[in-house]
Structure 1
Amino acid sequence: MAKSFVGPFIVTFAIALFVLLMQILWLYLDDIAGKGLSFFLIMELLAYKCVGLVPLALPLALLISSVMVLGNLAEHYELSSFKSAGVSLLRVMRMLIIFGAISAGVSYLCSDYIIPAANLQFGARMYDIQQKKPTLNMEPGVFNEDFNQFTIRLGDRGDDGRRIEDVLIYDHTKANVGELSQITASNGEMYTSDNGDFFIMRLYDGHQYIEQRPSGREGRSAPFMRTSFDTYTKVFDLSEFQLEVHATSLFSTNRSMLSTWQLREGVDSIATDIAVRKQGLSNHLLAYLPQLPRDTITYRVQQNDPLAFAGADTSLVVEVETTEADSMELLEAAYRPLHAAPRPEERGYTSDSVRHRFLRERQAELETRRAARFAEARRHPLVVGASPWHGVRSLLDSLPKSDHSRIYNRARSSIRSVTAQAQSTLRLLPGIEESRVKHVYDMHMKYSMAVVCIIFVFIGAPMGAIVRKGGFGYPILVSIIFFVIFIILTIFCRKLAESFVVSGVFAGWLPCLILFPISLWITYSAMNDAKLVDTDRAKNALRRARDSKQVAALRRRIAKS
């Protein structure tokens, strides 16, 4: 079984990898064509992309090869001989199951360690290629705009590629100040420098025309300048046509370039970002409703936070009950400068074990200041005049009429501020949540793509026993059907996760959850010698229907007689 399986597996894996690679290559063909890339650079890009397609090609190769091997055994009645000797189908499949388990491990290791590095290099190289200009191409009778702010047209070009005639150059380097320049020459030559860094055009017997924008108070036109030359040399920099190499760290945060532990950290970071934005919206209301409790949970430690110390738990929340004490003492505590508080070293807190006590004291001090401000706000005329409460109109009647307009304007401004903050948060949160779902989905798809290798063994091998055909005919047809179903389920589940219909975890495992019962049913059917299309039941049903009609007709004849 091992010998008969390895050959078809290697061949089908190579074919699947080639087909998937050609499908992906069409997406980047426009970016690669015409850039003058070397053969080795193109092979490097293909190698990076091939590594990324291994987890997708392994299940397809396992599916096709297992159908081929078991179909070949069933076609030559070798599988029937095994069953006659008392060997079960699962024992025949044992070597294929081992291959599937090994392929699952290889798929996961490749997805978690090799593919992130390969995608990082591929993304960086493709960005360099996309930024590179196409190869310089000077064709006669065509306006060339490859050089920045220059347009060149050649009337004719010699067979040696060096001699040129009827040259026209438009210079727009000073167009922003209203100066246009045009150079014409009857003939000349063009070539590159020895190191290939510069493109040189040496022109003979030509003219240069310069036209300037009218300037001055009265808008007097500047003189039109015409210059004749016997020899004119124009040097162009070719650095913009060279392939620049950017740092790969610029692309290291993309999801396809992260391993599972990095995706897990990304999910935690995004969840923290969502919590911070919700906390910001909640605490924004305190500027208008100071009676609300403040959310004091610290999700991220800031470097300039006076409460953040090494080893200190900055998420500690201390509830402090305050009463209405002496107003002067509370006001003094409320408006004391924050930087005037002594640091832990000044209070004698030198060890990490007592820093928590300092944090509690400092938190209690901040809560005391908050309570003092709250006590001061309660003595405000707006609050005092609202007792007993008879509505906004009674509160306004307690104030001078000259202040009504100002209060209404401030209320409208506060409502607009709170509404704008809430709408901004509502606009940003769905995008952040979608990014978190994508991270979760990609993380679990690494596991799902490994598990599906084993599931496809339990689909392909029994289907080969049922089809009873070897070679590349029926096996490929059957395999493609199941593989297309898997791809459709994968795309459909991704859309469901991005639409927040299901969670990212469930969406990542849903294709396996759907295919696993199908694999069990196909394996059970193959163990019971099921056929691909069971026509016996249909024939028996038709025979019973025909017999029942004949019996009914005979009964009618007997009844008439």
Structure 2
Amino acid sequence: MKKVHVLVLKAFIRPFIVTFFIVMFILLMLFLFKYIDDLIGKGFEWYVILQLLMYASATNVAMALPLAILLSSIMTFGSLGENYELVAIKSAGISLQKAMMPLIISVGILSIGAFLFSDYMLPKANLKMGSLLYDVRNQKAAFLIKEGIFNNSIPGYAIRVKKKDEDQTLHDVRIYDRNTSNGNLNVVLAKEGNMYMTDDNQMLILKLKDGMRYEETPGTSGTYNPRQRLMRTEFKETEQKFDLSSFALKRTDEDLFKSNYQMMSLNQLKMYRDSFEVKGDSNLRSTYKDISLLAKTYRTDSLSPKAPVVLKGKYKDVLELVPKDKRLAAVTGGKDQIRTVRDVLGRKELFTADNKVRIRGFLIELNRKFTLAVSCMVLFFIGAPLGAIIRKGGLGLPVVMSVLFFLLYHIISTIGEKYAKDGSLSPAMGMWIAIFVLAPLGAFLTYKATVDSVLFDADFYKRFFKRVFSKKTEVTG
């Protein structure tokens, strides 16, 4: 390998690693901001949050990797151009394409790795994150007693305290037992209490002092009266236990989420697509059979004429083919037949529409696995020549340019995906339209960088406009 290639590789690897992890960190922060309300106040263990962030990091690779390649390629060639190293390389007889060759190979390897990652690792990460995020969002908030407010978190109980000290000492405690279907028949009042959890965090224990327990029971008479007897028990100290197992994180079976498009590999997407296409074809065949069967049934109806009727002269209405005494029955029967056919076709149409939506979803996700790999190459061929043209390194202008081009790519791909889901575009066109738009731009920028274009040279445009305006003043003078 030539020393020039080693120089270019070293100049690319460091900013690529730095920008990749910076973008990953930003995307993780956006993920946390999005789901912060579902994570706070639910008493999760630290490893649950860590698992969720780890799975979210894996799912963010699809966005972080192309952006990191775009930004690092701009920074690399911008820095080489700013330090006149590109000039030295070209003066040595090495063209820009040859200087880019080691990076082209490296980005190609990254693109293949991105495809393999999206096919093998990303579906598993989406499955893990989707199931865990579902459980986290449906998890109850952690049990918390606030002063002067009834807490109904524990099923069957309502707890209120007038004051709570920092050492978890409670004052003026009221506990309403609502486990019965007849209202708050059991009430516990206490002047003071202490709250603590068991070692396994499965039980909450309130140790109450100086209180009274009121219980209403049906009594022993023959007639049913749930409030016939009142029992009042005074205590100096007692314990009230509450089951907190409902507050523990309960994991849902991951098999329930495996039918989602984003949680399938390439082979699974093809298999499901083929199976749904077979279902669609079977639905069309069954529709034809059902309509044919209904048509045969209607032709053998007792109201139908036994033989073809030939009318002599003109007739104004088809009902003239039916005897007068049977016309009302014929109209009623015809309406019923039309309604039956319409219902059959309506059900078949709903099934067909839903089946097409599912097939489009499989095709969209199937194409996404390839567009991730190709987008890395396209954005590299935009970033590398763009950096050589603007000749600015660092995190200033390169960041601005990379964000603009990545936003252009992301907006076009998002719009294309939306139209593909709606059926306005084919799934292949919708998912590849951003590549088709930006690939010619990459080729154009590569050509401009090869011929040392002054496309982004501000001094060139200043001189150009000065010449234009000076000519105008000479003509007017």
Superposition TM-score tier, normalisation by shorter sequence: 0.7 to 0.9
1:282 to 2:288 alignment: yes
Which residue of structure 1 aligns with residue 85 of structure 2?
A: 78
How does the TM-score come out when normalised to structure 2?
Answer: 0.88
1:255 to 2:275 alignment: no
Contact 2:419 2:430 in 1 (8 A): yes
SS in 2 for 1:289: helix
Query: Which one of the candidate residues 442, 462, 470 is aligned to 2:393?
Result: 470
Which residue of structure 2 aligns with residue 351 of structure 1?
A: none
CA distance in 2, matches of 1:203, 1:280: 70
Give, as a single letter, the amino acid of the residue that structure 2 aligns with 1:387. V
Q: CA deviation at 1:11?
A: 0.6
Give, as a single letter, the amino acid of the residue that structure 1 aligns with 2:421. E
Residues 283/180 of structure 1: CA separation in 2 closer, same or farther (3 Å cut): farther
Query: Which one of the candidate residues 114, 120, 125 is aligned to 2:121?
Result: 114
Structure 1 segment 445-524 matched on structure 2, within 5 A: 445-524=368-447
CA distance in 2, matches of 1:507, 1:465: 31
SS in 1 for 2:208: strand
Render the CA deviation track for 1:75-131: whole Å, top value 9, x for unaligned.
111111222222111111112211210111111011000011111111122222223
Give, as a single letter, the amino acid of the residue that structure 1 aligns with 2:387. G
Which residue of structure 2 aligns with residue 543 of structure 1?
A: 470
Q: CA deviation at 1:509?
A: 0.8
SS in 2 for 1:36: coil
Give, as a single letter, the amino acid of the residue that structure 2 aligns with 1:282. Y
Deviates more, 1:5-14 or 1:426-435: 426-435
1:393 to 2:319 alignment: yes
Residues 420/225 of structure 1: CA separation in 2 closer, same or farther (3 Å cut): farther
Give, as a single letter, the amino acid of the residue that structure 1 aligns with 2:93. G
Q: Percent identity?
A: 30
1:198 to 2:121 alignment: no
Residues 220/188 of structure 1: CA separation in 2 closer, same or farther (3 Å cut): closer
Query: Which one of the candidate residues 123, 126, 132 is aligned to 1:125?
Result: 132
CA distance in 1, matches of 2:277, 2:470: 66
Q: CA deviation at 1:135?
A: 1.6
Query: Which one of the candidate residues 29, 37, 41 is aligned to 2:36?
Result: 29
CA distance in 1, matches of 2:225, 2:141: 43
Which residue of structure 1 aligns with residue 23 of structure 2?
A: 16
Contact 1:153 1:168 in 2 (8 A): yes
Contact 1:493 1:507 in 2 (8 A): yes
Give, as a single letter, the amino acid of the residue that structure 1 aligns with 2:304. L
Q: CA deviation at 1:439?
A: 1.8
Give, as a single letter, the amino acid of the residue that structure 2 aligns with 1:498. K
CA distance in 2, matches of 1:148, 1:410: 57
SS in 2 for 1:236: strand
Structure 1 segment 45-194 matched on structure 2, within 5 A: 45-161=52-168, 163-175=169-181, 177=182, 180-194=185-199
Render the CA deviation track for 1:396-430: whole Å, top value 9, x for unaligned.
208xx2x5544433322222222233334444543
CA distance in 1, matches of 2:293, 2:234: 74
Render the CA deviation track for 1:265-290: whole Å, top value 9, x for unaligned.
22222323333333443333234312
SS in 2 for 1:502: coil
Residues 170/397 of structure 1: CA separation in 2 closer, same or farther (3 Å cut): same
Structure 1 segment 398-413 matched on structure 2, within 5 A: 401=325, 404-413=327-336
Query: Which one of the candidate residues 527, 536, 540 is aligned to 2:450?
Result: 527
Which residue of structure 1 aligns with residue 4 of structure 2?
A: none
Q: CA deviation at 1:395?
A: 4.0
CA distance in 2, matches of 1:33, 1:223: 46
Give, as a single letter, the amino acid of the residue that structure 1 aligns with 2:234. F
SS in 2 for 1:273: helix
Contact 2:413 2:432 in 1 (8 A): no
CA distance in 1, matches of 2:212, 2:286: 69
Render the CA deviation track for 1:516-556: whole Å, top value 9, x for unaligned.
00001111111111120441433332233223223xxxxxx
Deviates more, 1:250-259 or 1:428-437: 428-437
CA distance in 1, matches of 2:331, 2:419: 47
Residues 18/388 of structure 1: CA separation in 2 closer, same or farther (3 Å cut): same
CA distance in 2, matches of 1:405, 1:147: 66
Q: CA deviation at 1:229?
A: 3.0
Structure 1 segment 330-409 matched on structure 2, within 5 A: 377=300, 382-388=304-310, 392-397=318-323, 401=325, 404-409=327-332
Contact 1:135 1:241 in 2 (8 A): yes
Which residue of structure 2 aligns with residue 264 of structure 1?
A: 270
Residues 61/549 of structure 1: CA separation in 2 closer, same or farther (3 Å cut): same
Contact 1:2 1:95 in 2 (8 A): yes
CA distance in 2, matches of 1:386, 1:183: 89
Contact 1:202 1:233 in 2 (8 A): yes
Contact 1:17 1:54 in 2 (8 A): yes
CA distance in 1, matches of 2:199, 2:226: 44
Give, as a single letter, the amino acid of the residue that structure 1 aligns with 2:364. Y
Which residue of structure 1 aligns with residue 5 of structure 2?
A: none
CA distance in 2, matches of 1:173, 1:431: 44
Q: CA deviation at 1:134?
A: 1.8
Which protein has the larger Cα radius of gyration, Structure 1 or Structure 2?
1
Q: CA deviation at 1:392?
A: 4.1
How does the TM-score come out when normalised to structure 1?
Answer: 0.75
Contact 2:73 2:380 in 1 (8 A): yes
CA distance in 1, matches of 2:72, 2:445: 17
Q: CA deviation at 1:43?
A: 1.6
Q: CA deviation at 1:252?
A: 1.0
Residues 100/538 of structure 1: CA separation in 2 closer, same or farther (3 Å cut): same
Which residue of structure 2 aligns with residue 353 of structure 1?
A: none
SS in 2 for 1:510: helix
Render the CA deviation track for 1:206-244: whole Å, top value 9, x for unaligned.
1325499xxx99x99953735233255432211101112
CA distance in 2, matches of 1:265, 1:140: 58
Q: CA deviation at 1:501?
A: 1.5
Contact 1:181 1:211 in 2 (8 A): no
SS in 2 for 1:382: coil
Contact 2:77 2:391 in 1 (8 A): yes
| Matched residue count | 457
Give, as a single letter, the amino acid of the residue that structure 1 aligns with 2:420. A
SS in 2 for 1:188: strand
Give, as a single letter, the amino acid of the residue that structure 2 aligns with 1:41. V
Residues 281/235 of structure 1: CA separation in 2 closer, same or farther (3 Å cut): farther
SS in 2 for 1:290: helix
CA distance in 2, matches of 1:145, 1:414: 57
SS in 1 for 2:162: strand
Q: CA RMSD in A?
A: 2.7
CA distance in 2, matches of 1:458, 1:194: 59
CA distance in 2, matches of 1:79, 1:61: 22
